[in-house]
Amino acid sequence: MTTTTAQTPAARKLWGGRFTGKNDPLMEKFNASISFDSRFYKADIVGSQAYAKALALKQIITDDEASKLHDGLDKVLAEWESNKFVIQDGDEDIHTANERRLGEIIGTSISGKLHTGRSRNDQVATDFRIWVRDEGRKLVVVLKELIATAVVRAENEIDVIMPGYTHLQRAQPIRWSHLILAHAWSWHADCQRLEQLLDRLNQLPLGSGALAGNPFQIDRDFLAKELGFDRLMPNSLYGVSDRDFVAEFLFWASLTMVHISRFSEDLIIYSTGEFGFVQLADAYSTGSSLMPQKKNPDSLELLRGKSGRVFGGMTGFMMAYKGTPSTYNKDLQEDKEPVFDAYDTLMGSLQITTGVLSTLTIRPERMLASMSIDMLATDLAEYLVRKGVPFRETHHISGEAVRLAEERKCTMADLSLADFKALHPSFDEDVSQVWNFEQSIENRCTPGGTSRATVQAQIDSLKSFLQ
């Protein structure tokens, strides 16, 4: 769509009858929202077409007039879709622009009837909910594509093992797939939250008027059905002023970006020379302007950085929203840009994350080389638990074994049976079976654990969700 301005006489304002003086040109620009709310063009037109039908049902306009309004609005929509719509001076918002153009196509004697009983207050609230609902469904699709990518990798690489970390210190052995799925479950929760949010916002404000309701007995149930809403907003004051769905969407976007940022941070760390567990594809990396050897994970760093951008939009909106008294106030014009920015950021970020994950190269040999016997200290304690020794005692004994190995500058696997029996008489020759990373992983077979069977169960569960 074009945002160029044609030098034509200013259109008469929808609210201009009360005023005789001109606005300060700076105020005209300050007040206008057409530069960003033009993204509502389709929702605004669809809403107007439904409203024209509702007016005809109550015989406020004739069926012929409703048909002309509908056809005229189709032509306005076609101009937007073909990028031929020209924004003119006086088009302060998308509602003004569409009504002005409709009048030029079918004449103002008919187009002027479209706004009967309707306010821009309930009109914009309706447009915004339609837009977030419909565009939000697209985000659900790309989120599920990301989850599906994680599931495919997890299933294909289920036998790769690696060190698991807490506090960025090696802790216990896990499956690489278990780590991937940890992030996939975060995205699964994001997907559920978004779907719940879209269900909650899918209630119709149209018919609330400016604040007190519609005086022409408009059939709001008909409007809800026409526009795909599940239910009506039950209070007209609430209908025109509620922007909780905006706050929820921005919070959802912020939290989802936090999850993407944490995933990015894992891969940034694991792609360093010090770790070398993974390598990004060239398509998602850049080089250095000075150092030829560098391969920088810029895609991941950008993803990590953009989470702050989205969070900032949320906090900015909340500061504007908190001070608005009942019904519509112009502060609410600040609700749209952060949503649009968050949407664009999420749409791009989710697709980039999918691209990074689908093209990532892993280095199982580096992961295995980073494993150390001390990561099995908990397994040693559990060995004694199975012999009937209380865990608090076995934890202390295992710690003594770690200290003894450090003093001798060897691994615990190098300690003799006599060394272990000196720590506790329950140790026997089968203690040598503890020093097996794969067995340690397979012991974690409770649902949610890192054993092969439990990881496969997670994969199967996510597959069912995606289907």
Question: What are the tens digits of pLDDT across the range 27-75?
Answer: 888 888 999 999 999 999 999 999 999 999 999 999 999 999 999 999 9
What pLDDT is recorded for position 291? 75
Residue 282 in any domain: the answer is: yes
Backbone angles phi, psi at 305, to 5 degrees: -70, -35
Domain residues for the domain of 335 are 140-369
Residue 292 — very low, low, confident or very high, per pLDDT cuts 50/70/90?
A: low
pLDDT per residue over 100-141, tens digit each?
Answer: 999 999 999 999 999 999 999 999 999 999 999 999 999 999
* 321 and 274 in a common domain: yes
> Active-site residue among 82, 111, 236, 288?
288
In a domain, 133, yes or no: no
Cα distances (Å, whole numbers) of residue 217 to 56, 119, 214, 227:
12, 15, 6, 18
> For residue 32, what is the DSSP state?
-
Question: Is there a single domain that holds both residue 233 and residue 89?
Answer: no
CA 363 – CA 369 distance, rounded (Å): 10
Is 1 within the bounds of a domain? no
Region of residue 119 (phi > 0: left; psi between -120 and 50: alpha; otherwise: beta): beta
Q: What percent of the chain has pLDDT over 70?
A: 94
pLDDT band at 15 (very low <50, low <70, confident <90, very high): very low
Q: Is residue 97 in some structural domain? A: yes
C-alpha span between 318 and 244 (Å, rounded):
10
Query: Is 311 in the same domain as 432?
Result: no
**Per-residue DSSP letter, 272:** S
Distances (CA, A) of 286 to 153, 168, 296, 316: 24, 26, 5, 33
- Token pair 């160029």 is at which residue? 4
Active site annotation includes 372: no
Residue 207 maps to a domain: yes
Whether residues 358 and 391 share a domain: the answer is no
Residue 6, strand partner residues: 88
267 and 360 in contact (C-beta within 8 Å)?
yes
Please tell me whether residues 176 and 298 are part of one structural domain. yes
Of the segments 16-20, 23-27, 34-38, 253-257, which one has the largest average pLDDT value? Answer: 253-257
Q: Is 109 a catalytic residue?
A: no
Reading the block at residue 95, the tokens are 């509602």
Q: For residue 397, tell me if it sits in a domain.
A: yes
Q: Is the pLDDT of residue 7 over 80?
A: no
Contact 145, 354 (CB under 8 A): yes
Model confidence at 9, pLDDT cuts 50, 70, 90, reads: very low
Q: Which of 82, 109, 167, 464 is catalytic?
A: 167
Dihedral pair phi/psi, residue 88, rounded to 5°: -115, 165
pLDDT band at residue 12 under the 50/70/90 scheme: low
Q: Same domain, yes or no, for 294 and 443?
A: no
| Domain contains 10 | no
402's tokens: 């770690």
One domain for residues 215 and 325:
yes
- Nearest-angstrom CA–CA distance, 130 and 42: 9
- How many folded domains does the chain comprise? 3
- DSSP-based three-state secondary structure for 163: strand
Do 326 and 380 share a domain, yes or no? no
SS3 279: strand
CB-CB contact of 69 with 106 (8 Å): yes
Q: Are residues 193 and 284 in the same domain?
A: yes
Q: Transcribe 325-362 into DSSP letters.
A: -SS--GGGGGGHHHHHHHHHHHHHHHHHHHHHHHH-EE
Pick from 42, 68, 41, 40: which is nearest to 53 by CA?
A: 68
User: Residue type for 348, please?
Assistant: G
